[in-house]
Chain A
């Protein structure tokens, strides 16, 4: 637990002495219960290894690869065993901070702050000797100009999300843009409007997403869709359109303060966030994420997105669906109580979720106490009772569960407490939750198999987060929900 003193020191020294001091936020209080299904296993790090993990990859031979802030790449054998008996091998070193690793065709493609690099071992001694720069053609000349990279997409491209200069401005080429780098080293700008993005990756349907941090023009952290030609909300990066052949700058800038659902009608390129994560309740600085395609080895959440949070040391879960051509979806609590600030996650071939990261002593407070860690979340095969997924309908939602529900409880409308709210869309930093409504749950119909419930709602609000609390919801076998919260971001209401 980071003391309020450290946090105040941070505010005073790094940001501004005027922000109110605050705690990192309430814990969910579910860690002990979560451990019954998803125990956390620590992967030991030997004392001689300077390990500040920033990215993970699985090698074809099943080893775990880790890219670090110091610019090293370690290959770790035995990380997935029980208990882990890891052996660390230094494959490459001397790079800038690494926040993207992807292995393809016998080489590791690395996203570091300054470039995308293909690193390979030519002489077969397991130590890299060729560092091939695929592209370094974005501006990199100021602090906070982070670069986070995806895995290879099906065409072999690496997508890179470029943070703003000092996280507020765009002083250097393509800061605030997402670009993709082709296997031949061509850099293709994709979309503008990012602020301080974290991880980049696809959803199950292959749409490329990236995580965005709360801040100016961003009321909360969110998953954003890197839609080609899109504008993702922060107008500081408008200035680079003249450098993109064939792409026109939006004809207007968003007004401030306003609402996303208002501005998206004015700025036709504006792509609303796919999933918004209510601040503190669902993370404070979400970092890396990964799609679960482990074929059920990680439990009932196949094809869902798992995200790490840096400040709160938690793992979150998200689902997406496309409505009226626009991506939207929901987020759910998953696992809290990790050891450090989570920077990235990865699934092992055994279906375990690797989560790792670090804390910094000055820059940002973190709940997890360890200065750095690599951990593993294993599913022990016991089925938790969870909200598996929420999907929207034109007049309500379908809530899917991991186990059949108790028909009596599930049939009561009082079980479903739904409120809605949204955020300011404004140039100021972050946003409170605003425009609260309480739609009426008019009726609920559990499915015959008990695995889902159709709820009918009077007053779905476009542009709002729909905040679900399933009070007292029980499974057929009597167990209570492990987490009774879920948050659905309604960008569009289905027409049918």
Chain B
């Protein structure tokens, strides 16, 4: 059985329009593609969760969609919406899969039942629901994000007025402003699976403020009463609000015109206020302003205007308007700029002494807006509601409350044209199915319990259920619908469609390693950061099975891999080819996080972790086979290498060489001609160094080691300041900042010292210790690099010459560690002095003589004994008595 028919797929799109105006359940995957009606019936059965009432042991039973969890509903949703939705789900949210369970009741009973159930649901927990005014600045950005992050693959895009344009083929949202508050919608968007465990609404992995902005956009019509609306702008505001350097930063409501009400205002800010002032009597009103610049309008008529200037202080201004009693519109723009910026507004009028306008006289709207009133739960009503809830079978689907369910006839006894499928009113739920949908179910009903899907069918089913096909094409099926195409955008126009559309999933199981599919599908792994759409997460139990299925189903012919006799030669050839003197792959592809000069195509550095080698060979030989419009050229046109001098021009050997080189990942030798423009300094096969102000004072030296350990050394005090793991550093001119994590910091001060008494403080450079540490006998002498470009720091402590070398020692499993070797040389034996290894709040000694200092484990690798000097913080000191000539101290740092 071929479920998916590519031929009629196109027709399906054309036919999707007749759904208009009907409130049948909309499953976006079904709406946006054309499938065998058997599969449609099966999916609809699952999506309607028929097995919640009609029990079955068939495999589809466990895959059926669960209803939303209700235990927190009172904090999440507006009670008015809950009641309305229960009373009339199809009218409240056309397209919903929630059945109407009250349809058989008369209007009064219906109202009573809906209200009672609402009270029951609100009684489950204390409710925190309240309304927040939308921020139209965030909403503006939210509009862009809603349309570009991928929400509109399933939900309808909206026009400028906020009207849904593709409602008939989109997963419904209903009227959200009456349903959610800004706060509760943000919370839902950040973790939708907490409420909807079946993952049809995926976690969109919205970063930063994205969820917040989208929530403000979707709820921009929420109306909340308040005294005054404001919008705050930042930039070179003295040039006016329309200057291209000025941008709106936030908006909302505020109590009054006092600046303090807005929190801390930074210099170069502008604020526009809008509201209605309720005047007790008619007459002449005078407004007194103190401000650098701005304007004031009453009833739409400007009465004050002063050009702002960043070169002078505030001015005293005034304006008068003849006003009728009642609510009069007041619009004020204020520029917070110039010398000693301040702002005040006072009003004087008939029987109204000159004073600031009190909040009670102000309103954000001309007509009053009703405030949200939380529902006081009536215990009796709630108790009745619980009875309705169980009796009506609500608990069948909403099983998180663990209430008794009302079983319906067993699935095996169902027949088409009866009950839910009859299309008639009766003592069964009104599912809202249309004739076609009922037919799909009716058709599949007799065989569905016996139906066993093969691997391909299972993939097709999952891809429709979760609407993967809304974004991805797979062997000609699915992909972005033409009417949604324009919402898929990218940040790298040079990459063409590949830079804006989610990738095809044809052959994906033959292309990607299962580990990487798992990473992308289940752990938010992401490679194509130039796509504006995010890869949604549906949850492991919902889509995890795809990983194995794709690997089993997708096969391509096996390439005969060439025999590599000399792996070093192969890797070197790969290095040659990838760099500027070879194929110059890095001209288009990013490499190890360093941006390419041009296109910014996929980062090559972890390619071998993601791709299967067989596919790599097939693709490199003929990229066009996999993407008709691919920009990537073939370097072996007609099987002939364009670099015949490498590896005897053998294409297979050359491709293998690229693979072998790339297999070294970030530790591969840095390709020739790689851009150094990025601020992030990445470490490859050799150490990297940066110097200057930042992580370790002003004379800091940062070193990133090939084993992904990093340190910062202060060449002013010749002391280790910081250890960290992972990414190395950001550099900017002569400054650097550590990246990565797992930081261990070390106290300020010199490394070696003769303590007169164990009560003395360990010396460090204070602000006015101008000649420190030279006055302690120290002099920094620089560093030398070894073959891995790791530095040996050189300095002098009195007569002692010190060489200080950190070696990153790899560990078979887990992180590497540092072995630090001090090489001392002195013309005569030195009396005892201390090396201070570190300090910390919690220091313990282990039986083998090691120290655990907070998160650092310090082992002495030479025959020295350390001691703990108590104090706040405590210190680990190592006494050193140097003989004449050369001697060593060896330390091991693990953290």
Contact = CB atoms under 8 A, between A and B. Distances in A.
B81 interface: no
Contacts of B688: 93-94
Interface in B221-249: 236, 238-239, 243, 245
B110 to A, nearest CB: 64
Contact of B731 (A70, A142, A173): A70
A155 to B, nearest CB: 21
Contacts of B733: 52, 69-71, 97
A17 B781 contact: no
Contact of A17 (B310, B779, B789, B791): B310
A12 B782 contact: no
A133 B770 contact: no
Interface string A70-82: 1110000000000
B784 interface: yes
Given A112-B691, A133-B780, A48 B674 contact: yes
Given A94-B688, A133-B780, A243-B770, A9 B245 contact: yes
Interface in A91-140: 93-97, 112-115, 117-118, 122, 128-133, 136-137, 139-140
B782 A130 contact: yes
B698 A133 contact: no
B673 A133 contact: no
B716 interface: yes
A139 B768 CA distance: 10
B374 interface: no
B246 to A, nearest CB: 11
A130 B674 CA distance: 24
Given A20-B311, A47-B675, A112-B691, A136 B734 contact: no
A113 B692 contact: yes
Contact of B734 (A13, A112, A118, A129): A112
Most interface-central of B698, B780, B783, B789 (chain A CB within 10 A): B698
B677 interface: yes
B268 interface: yes
Interface in B806-844: none
Contact of A136 (B693, B715, B784, B791): B715
B690 A12 contact: no
Contacts of A13: 268
Contact of B784 (A20, A49, A52, A130): A130
Contacts of B783: 130-131
B78 to A, nearest CB: 45
B236 A5 contact: yes
Interface string B267-294: 1100000000000000000000000000
Contact of B699 (A20, A47, A114, A122): A114
A140 B690 CA distance: 17
Contacts of B689: 93-94
B125 interface: no
B597 interface: yes
A139 B716 CA distance: 10
B386 interface: no
Contact of A173 (B771, B780, B784): B771
Most interface-central of B312, B337, B734, B774 (chain A CB within 10 A): B734
A52 B676 CA distance: 12
Interface string B670-711: 000111110000000000111111000111000000000000
Contacts of A48: 597, 673-677
Contacts of B349: none
Interface in A255-270: none
Contact of A114 (B245, B339, B692, B791): B692
Interface string A148-176: 00000000000000000000000111000
A482 interface: no
B339 A71 contact: no
Nearest to A98: B734
A18 B770 contact: no
Contacts of A112: 691, 734
B379 interface: no
B236 A131 contact: no
Contact of A71 (B677, B691, B774): B691
Interface in A5-50: 5, 8-9, 11-13, 17-21, 47-50
A112 B733 CA distance: 11
Contact of A12 (B236, B243, B676, B780): B236
Contacts of A114: 691-692, 698-699, 715-716
B338 interface: yes
Contacts of B675: 47-48
Interface string A293-308: 0000000000000000
Contacts of A139: 770
Contact of A113 (B597, B690, B734): B734
B691 A95 contact: yes
Contacts of A70: 731, 733-734
A326 interface: no
B731 A140 contact: no
Contacts of A252: none
Contacts of A9: 236, 245
A134 to B, nearest CB: 8
Contacts of B692: 71, 95-97, 113-114
A140 B699 contact: yes
A112 B688 CA distance: 18
A383 interface: no
Contacts of B676: 48-50, 72, 90
A243 B771 contact: yes
A113 B779 CA distance: 17
B8 interface: no
A133 B311 contact: no
Contacts of A12: 236, 238, 267-268, 310, 337
A47 B715 contact: no
A133 B337 contact: no
Contact of B597 (A47, A69, A71, A145): A47
Contacts of B770: 139, 172-173, 243
B676 to A, nearest CB: 5
B749 to A, nearest CB: 16
B453 interface: no
B754 to A, nearest CB: 22
A471 interface: no
A13 to B, nearest CB: 8
Contacts of B734: 69-71, 95-97, 112-113
A94 B691 CA distance: 6
A2 interface: no
A132 B789 contact: no
Contacts of B175: none
A141 interface: yes
B785 interface: yes
A140 B698 contact: yes
Contacts of B337: 12, 17
A95 B692 CA distance: 7
A7 to B, nearest CB: 11
Interface string A423-435: 0000000000000
Q: Which 10 A-B pairs have the closest CB atoms?
A: A94-B689, A48-B675, A97-B734, A96-B734, A96-B692, A47-B597, A133-B782, A132-B782, A173-B770, A129-B785
15 contacts: A5-B236, A47-B677, A48-B676, A69-B733, A70-B731, A71-B692, A90-B676, A93-B688, A95-B692, A112-B734, A113-B734, A114-B716, A115-B715, A122-B784, A141-B697
Given A12-B267, A129-B785, 10 more contacts: A17-B338, A19-B311, A48-B673, A48-B675, A50-B677, A96-B699, A131-B783, A131-B784, A131-B791, A133-B780
Interface of B: 236, 238-239, 243, 245, 267-268, 310-312, 337-339, 597, 673-677, 688-693, 697-699, 715-716, 731, 733-734, 767, 770-771, 774, 779-785, 789, 791
Interface of A: 5, 8-9, 11-13, 17-21, 47-50, 52, 69-72, 90, 93-97, 112-115, 117-118, 122, 128-133, 136-137, 139-142, 145, 171-173, 185, 243
